[in-house]
Amino acid sequence: MERLANIFHLGLKELRSLQRDIALVLLIIWAFSLGIYSAATSMPESLHHASIAVVDEDRSQLSERLIQAFQPPYFRTPERIDLSQMDRGMDAGRYTFTLNIPPDFQRDVLAGRSPAIQLNVDATQVSQAFTGAGYIQNIGINEVAEFVRRYRADLPQQAGLAVRVAFNPNLTRTWFGSVMEVINQITMLSIILTGAALIREREHGTIEHLLVMPVTPLEIMLAKVWSMGLVVLVATTLSLLLVVQGWLQVPIQGSLALFLGGAALHLFATTSMGIFFGTVARSMPQLGLLIIIVLIPLEILSGGTTPRESMPELVQQIMLVAPTTHFVDLAQAILYRGAGLSIVWPQLLAIAGIGTLFFLGAMTRFRKTLAQMA
């Protein structure tokens, strides 16, 4: 009971120290509110007011129908230009897309030939170039098909494709971006807070006070883990309820309590990483550089940005030792697909095992650091 009391009071000391650190408090508030909102809504889910110009060399009913098909809010009103203006407009960045409808386009379509329309895309407009090219292709195919039906009978389709989108029927990007950003913030803040807590004690000289107190390194480390983990867990809960569900209107399918339980295990691993980094770094700038080196691979290669199946096999195997890989799987299964404990228990077990190894490694390093200071 005496050891538990020491861990509890040392944790309260960490919370009071954090409360006085205005910069970290503001970082926590921003990361779990505006940080999540901006990350979820920064890139458009669909094409929005893309600039397009058309060179109409056919001047037919079909070409006019194609031009009129590009309407707001996906596209701006198409600008009609001649062939000499097309390249200059693309070079100057005035148009993201230019469409060149060739002469005799309508006549060739009605004759059963396959005329080509030239589409030029400014690929420097990364957020809209790829999506917009698909939009224009679909619009062109549909408009030509409807135009031809007025002159020829429909040909029976030999096969049809029925697409059913599960868990996110409208393919709303904010549903994915908001939850994945919560996971990223959990990982980032837990490492920063625990590492900063250790460096702050070294800079302020309070670590020497702890060395002369009747407390063990295990008690000091556990106090930092539970206190900083609790801060991140409370911020996560409020963010999911107020920002993700309330502000962004993202439906949470599964058990929030089960997700928070998995988050607590994940925090056990990441706070241990933070303490390890705090023993390696000698100042906050060094800690920031260490976190950048580790955090970017954790976020990009864990499956939160792109599916792990699309990565090289070696990378997939290496990332199995990272707790974020299993936490992303767990979060997506619970929050998107409504999975229960019977489905996500392997991820929970993996996170607990990895967290234990990280904790033991950080504990060994922390003992050596304290012994050198003593």
Q: Domains along the chain?
A: 2-42+172-373 (no CATH), 52-149 (3.40.1710.10)
pLDDT given for residue 156 in this prediction: 62
d(CA 137, CA 140): 5
Pick from 263, 275, 264: nearest CA to 14: 275
First to last CA, the chain: 27
pLDDT given for residue 123 in this prediction: 85
Query: Is the full-model pTM beyond 0.95?
Result: no
Distances (CA, A) of 187 to 76, 141, 191, 266: 41, 45, 6, 8
| Beta-ladder partners of 356 | none
Please count the residues of the chain: 374
Vertex 159 angle, CA 157 and 165, to 5°: 120
pLDDT given for residue 306 in this prediction: 80
How do the pLDDT tens digits run along the chain, 374 residues long? Answer: 788 998 998 899 899 989 998 999 999 999 999 999 998 887 655 677 889 999 999 999 999 999 999 988 889 999 999 998 998 998 888 999 999 999 999 999 988 888 999 999 998 876 678 788 888 998 998 888 888 887 655 556 666 677 788 888 877 878 888 999 999 999 999 999 999 988 888 877 777 677 777 888 899 899 999 999 999 999 999 999 999 999 999 998 899 999 999 999 999 999 999 999 988 888 888 888 988 899 888 888 998 888 888 889 999 999 999 999 999 999 999 999 999 999 999 999 999 999 999 999 999 998 888 877 66
Residue 39 contacts residue 200 (beta carbons within 8 Å):
no
Coil, strand, or helix at residue 55? strand
Distances (CA, A) of 59 to 54, 111, 215: 11, 17, 86
Q: What DSSP element (H or E) covers 124?
A: none
d(CA 114, CA 119): 16
d(CA 332, CA 122): 35
d(CA 252, CA 240): 9
d(CA 50, CA 28): 36
Coil, strand, or helix at residue 7? helix
pLDDT given for residue 102 in this prediction: 93
pLDDT given for residue 325 in this prediction: 94
E strands in the chain: 52-56, 79-80, 97-101, 118-121
pLDDT given for residue 270 in this prediction: 95
